[in-house]
């Protein structure tokens, strides 16, 4: 059974999802799936960031179904994609948001039979890479493949072999402790977007050319000249023209530089060049391939521990559960040892070990009360897999019948 939620409550729920960065599941045609987070909303639209873009999502006015978990139940709505640009999409704010009527569950006394394990990450240590305006965290593979044992040298070799017959020159450079040398590198690192010069003898591009990625436009270049180089308005066109002349003098007819992003860092640059001998613009399909490769490289480096130096000290501890439902749990302690570690309204990743099954859940600490010598903590589940939700429901209530 299900019911439709009022617009006022729907707005509250969506704002909660945005504030807490709760992942939502999205399904499109042919059961293609991805995950996303909500970034912003108004009465007509919702801006989201997609972890992966299935092909069916790029169709005009593509229909999707969105699923998420909130206050003991799964919610869903149907809508359409208005626009996709890079990993960002604008979707219609749905008319109806539906939830399961059976959304309240009685807490079951556990009294220490099960426990939860917390792992609290220390402060992230800054890395020695140039920072940029865009942030990208590769927590999911861009394609269906396992990169846990893939060496970066193998990826770079395959990339070079793929593009060698298609363009004059290609190169991938990792840039730890790097200072940009050219105007092109400075622009890419500043904006965190792709620089594309189809023809060094022509004007710069004035609008976006593809829905899958964003390029630096002429407007962006002008903004950079004003804000960073402090170029007078009257001299901006001349400055840009001189840059293009210098690029052409380096035997570059068409040029693409793509950033490899990790968090808000540019950790590498991908160079694609056609010389005057191959005097034609680099194809958008090649740029798309290189863009996808940049995402794969970032994910592969993360999987292989390339950024481990950023990890602060981790602390693990285990606490007994007092009571629990499929939507949350309570803890009662006899001391205040964890008062400074468990902060009200903070999100935590926990692991439940129930009947030899490990269940990973994102929770929020919503209640923190001291009652004489007892310390009470109440957690609400923010993200839990549907199958884990069903498993908890079965374990907690199947044995409650007399």
> 326 or 92: which carries more pLDDT confidence?
92
Q: Which CATH architecture has domain 131-308?
A: 2-Layer Sandwich (3.30)
Tens digit of each residue's pLDDT (9 = 90 or more) over 107-132: 788 888 888 887 776 667 889 999 99
pLDDT greater than 80 at residue 197: yes
- What are the DSSP calls for 362-400, one per residue? EEEEEEEEEETTEEEEEEEEEE--HHHHHHHHHHHHTT-
> 76 or 255: which carries more pLDDT confidence?
255
* Separation between Cα atoms, residue 394 and residue 402, nearest integer Å: 15
- Domain spans of the chain, in order of start: 2-100, 108-122+313-397, 131-308
Tens digit of each residue's pLDDT (9 = 90 or more) over 280-318: 999 999 999 999 999 999 999 988 888 988 877 777 888
Q: What confidence category does residue 149 fall into, taking pLDDT thresholds of 50, 70 and 90?
A: low
What's the CATH fold of domain 2-100?
Pnp Oxidase; Chain A (2.30.110)
- pTM of the entire predicted model: 0.58
In the sheet with 323-325, reading across from the earlier edge strand, the strands are 108-109, 323-325, 328-333, 374-383, 357-371, 347-354, 115-121, 314-320
Residue 330, both tokens: 């309570």
Looking at residue 144, its pLDDT comes to 61
21: left (phi over 0), alpha (psi -120 to 50) or beta: left
* Percent composition of the chain: helix, strand, coil (DSSP 3-state, to 5): 25, 35, 35
Q: Options 3.30.160.60, 3.40.50.10470, 2.40.10.220, 1.10.760.10; which CATH number does 108-122+313-397 get?
A: 2.40.10.220
Number of C-beta neighbours around residue 144 at 10 A = 6
* Separation between Cα atoms, residue 90 and residue 44, nearest integer Å: 10
274: left (phi over 0), alpha (psi -120 to 50) or beta: beta
Distance separating the N- and C-terminal Cα atoms of the chain: 26
Tens digit of each residue's pLDDT (9 = 90 or more) over 385-399: 778 888 888 888 775
């Amino acid at each position: 059974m299900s019911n439709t939620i009022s617009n006022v409550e729907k707005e509250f729920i969506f704002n909660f999802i945005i504030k807490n960065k709760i992942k939502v599941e999205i399904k499109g045609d042919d059961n293609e799936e991805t995950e996303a987070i909500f970034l912003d909303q108004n009465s007509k639209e919702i801006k989201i960031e997609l972890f992966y873009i299935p092909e069916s999502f790029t169709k005009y006015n593509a229909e999707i179904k969105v699923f998420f978990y909130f206050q003991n139940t799964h919610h869903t709505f149907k809508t359409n994609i208005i626009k996709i640009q890079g990993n960002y999409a604008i979707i219609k704010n749905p008319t109806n948001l539906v939830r399961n009527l059976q959304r309240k569950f009685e807490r079951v006394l556990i009294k220490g039979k099960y426990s939860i394990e917390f792992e609290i990450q220390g402060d992230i240590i800054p890395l020695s890479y140039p920072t940029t305006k865009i942030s990208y965290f590769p927590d999911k593979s861009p394609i269906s493949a396992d990169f846990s044992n893939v060496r970066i040298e193998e990826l770079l070799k395959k990339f070079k072999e793929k593009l060698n017959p298609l363009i004059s020159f290609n190169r991938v450079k990792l840039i730890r402790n790097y200072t940009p040398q050219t105007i092109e590198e400075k622009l890419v690192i500043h904006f965190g977007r792709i620089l594309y010069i189809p023809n060094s003898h022509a004007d710069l591009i004035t609008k976006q050319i593809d829905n899958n990625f964003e390029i630096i436009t002429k407007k962006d270049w002008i903004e950079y000249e004003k804000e960073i180089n402090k170029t007078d308005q009257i001299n901006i066109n001349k400055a840009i023209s001189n840059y293009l002349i210098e690029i052409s003098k380096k035997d570059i007819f068409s040029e693409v530089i793509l950033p490899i992003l990790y968090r808000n860092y540019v950790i590498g640059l991908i160079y694609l060049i056609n010389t005057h001998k191959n005097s034609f613009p680099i194809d958008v399909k090649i740029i798309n391939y290189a863009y996808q490769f940049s995402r794969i490289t970032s994910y592969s480096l993360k999987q292989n521990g390339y950024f481990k130096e950023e990890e602060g000290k981790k602390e693990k501890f285990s606490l007994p559960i007092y009571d629990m439902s499929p939507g949350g749990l309570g803890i009662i302690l006899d001391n205040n040892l964890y008062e400074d570690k468990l902060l009200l309204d903070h999100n935590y990743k926990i692991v439940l070990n129930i009947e030899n099954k490990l269940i990973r859940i994102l929770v929020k600490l919503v209640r923190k009360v001291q009652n004489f010598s007892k310390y009470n903590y109440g957690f609400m589940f923010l993200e839990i897999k549907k199958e884990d939700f069903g498993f908890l429901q079965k374990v907690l209530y199947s044995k409650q019948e007399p």
